[in-house]
Amino acid sequence: MGMCQSIGAVPEIDSPPHVLYVDDEPALRQVIAERLKERGFEVVEADSGEKAIAYLENFAFDILITDIRLPGIDGNQVVDAARERYPGIVVVVMTAFATIKDAVEATRRGVDDYLEKNLPFEALVHVLTKARERRQLQADNVRLAAVNADLRSQLEQRYQFGGIVGGSPPMRKLLQLLDTVAPASSTILITGETGTGKEVIARAIHYNSPRKANRFVALNCSAIPESLLEAELFGHVRGAFTGAVGARQGRFEQAHKGTLFLDEVGTMSTALQMKLLRALQEREFERVGDNQTIKVDVRVIAATNSNLASMVAAGSFREDLFYRLNVISIHLPPLRERREDIPVLVRHFLDKFAPGAQMQVSQGAMRVLMDFSWPGNVRQLENAIERAVTLGSGRKEIDLADLPPEIQSLPDSTVAPFVEFPDEGLDLPAYLSSIEKDLIKRSLQRTGGNRNKAAELLRIKRTTLVEKLKRLGPD
């Protein structure tokens, strides 16, 4: 009795398991994938190890089914990549060339089951169901914690930037740049969206520089009223303005021999920009209300989420100050451009907010975390995990319901990061219609068939949903 045997009734599945099925035999792969879909599984197919790993970098699958003998990257490497990213994923090796040696190797790699391809299809479904239940009960996140610990150890040994979490290509490139620029005293301009960690990077530069024994002084230029910002930067003498009851050092003096971090420097007025330019060029200034010149030795690191070059073109930011600040430019990538760092960042924040609790995140919740666009970047992710840890107090696993509403309201989706575009062209209306139908189906599954709630999830009127159901027809 082979894999092509007819299938029985479709079981009820609350949350459809997402399967990545890897096999270079197209006929067999398509047959098994169709059978799994009939049983309620969501299946993404890959015909090579390279494509499988690419899928894994963008999606948190519940189950991996893979052959061992694949062209190029083999199944063992796919298993390692899956286990490294997602310790909770169920892994089943299915091969036509079963050997004791391969079975032992699969066990060593933490594979949940090792099957021959000629086994009955029902045996595969049974194995997947039981293995998934076993993984959910284990709540085992040791591998991801080990990866994070190893990564932090490498950073501390090679770069000494232990507070920066992430091993994606953009982050490795960033760390190499920080390793180069930290020992110098050149002025640095850090750019990036809000929440990308500009102050974290500035502190890392300071504490890995020859100035680390002296102060790191931070000033958010957008948080200080314009009338007081000059005094904050350069200090003031008694009676310099209303409320100046005594002399006070400014941030430049406080940072002498150390580092001054000026965040949101683009919000500074053009008049104050001129005074900042002089302080940078001459390394001297006067306190507000005084004519005595004070000389300082300060490394300045500025940061902004604005496009200063565009502001220069518009006349709202001084060109000479821009070039003075932009001696060394460091751009921080948004979180959506380094999604492979999300699992490691999640583990980092879990350890921060629930130390010793060994909490983990369900595959469904991780899938949503990886699919979200994160407009607030790492800071928003940190806040989301802190909220989830608080709501999940007393439990070992964070689920979708523990995440903020704006994140958990995203519709589920099967991942299609690589759309095959045939040589003969694509029927775009039909393709878009299939996507629309799939999203409607998922919204109804999530709401238990409640059309009102499904319409709310899809941000459309109930009448519009009903019309679409009539037009798209039954499943």
Tens digit of each residue's pLDDT, the chain (475 residues): 344 332 333 333 346 788 999 998 888 888 889 988 888 888 999 999 999 999 998 888 888 999 888 888 988 899 999 988 888 788 888 877 666 666 667 667 778 888 887 778 887 888 887 766 665 555 444 445 555 556 545 544 443 455 678 888 888 899 889 999 999 999 999 999 999 999 999 999 998 999 988 999 999 999 998 888 999 999 888 876 776 667 788 899 999 999 999 999 999 999 999 999 999 999 999 988 888 899 999 999 999 999 999 999 999 999 999 999 999 999 999 999 998 899 989 998 999 999 888 888 988 889 889 888 899 999 999 999 999 999 988 788 888 889 998 887 654 444 444 455 566 777 777 777 777 887 888 778 777 778 888 888 888 888 888 888 888 775 5
**Residue 453 maps to a domain:** yes
CATH at 99: 3.40.50.2300
CATH at 201: 3.40.50.300
Amino acid at 25: E
Q: Are residues 126 and 173 in the same domain?
A: no
**Residue 296: which of 236, 255, 263 has the closest Cα?**
255
Q: What is the DSSP letter of 2?
A: -
Choose one of 335, 354, 374: the last residue of a domain: 335
**Residue 210 maps to a domain:** yes
Q: Are residues 102 and 183 in the same domain?
A: no
Write out the two tokens for 385: 């995990």
**Residue 386 maps to a domain:** no
DSSP 3-state of 276: helix
**Residue 186 maps to a domain:** yes
| Residue 433 structural domain | 428-472
At 431 the pLDDT is: 73
Q: Are residues 121 and 175 in the same domain?
A: no
Instruction: Using alpha carbons, list the distances in angstroms from residue 325 to 303, 304, 322, 413.
Output: 9, 11, 5, 44
Rounded distance between C-alpha atoms, residue 385 and residue 406, angstroms: 14
Q: Are residues 123 and 177 in the same domain?
A: no
Choose one of 280, 308, 335: the last residue of a domain: 335
Q: Are residues 53 and 106 in the same domain?
A: yes
Choose one of 287, 305, 335: the last residue of a domain: 335
Q: Are residues 221 and 270 in the same domain?
A: yes
**Residue 341 maps to a domain:** no
Q: Are residues 234 and 330 in the same domain?
A: yes
**Residue 384 maps to a domain:** no
Write out the two tokens for 417: 């990061």
Q: Are residues 323 and 177 in the same domain?
A: yes
**Residue 58 maps to a domain:** yes
Q: Are residues 33 and 84 in the same domain?
A: yes
Q: Are residues 213 and 123 in the same domain?
A: no
Q: Are residues 318 and 442 in the same domain?
A: no
Write out the two tokens for 201: 């990077």
Q: Are residues 183 and 120 in the same domain?
A: no
**Residue 194: which of 222, 154, 153 has the closest Cα?**
222
Rounded distance between C-alpha atoms, residue 255 and residue 258, angstroms: 5
**Residue 149 maps to a domain:** no
Domain count of the fold of the chain: 3
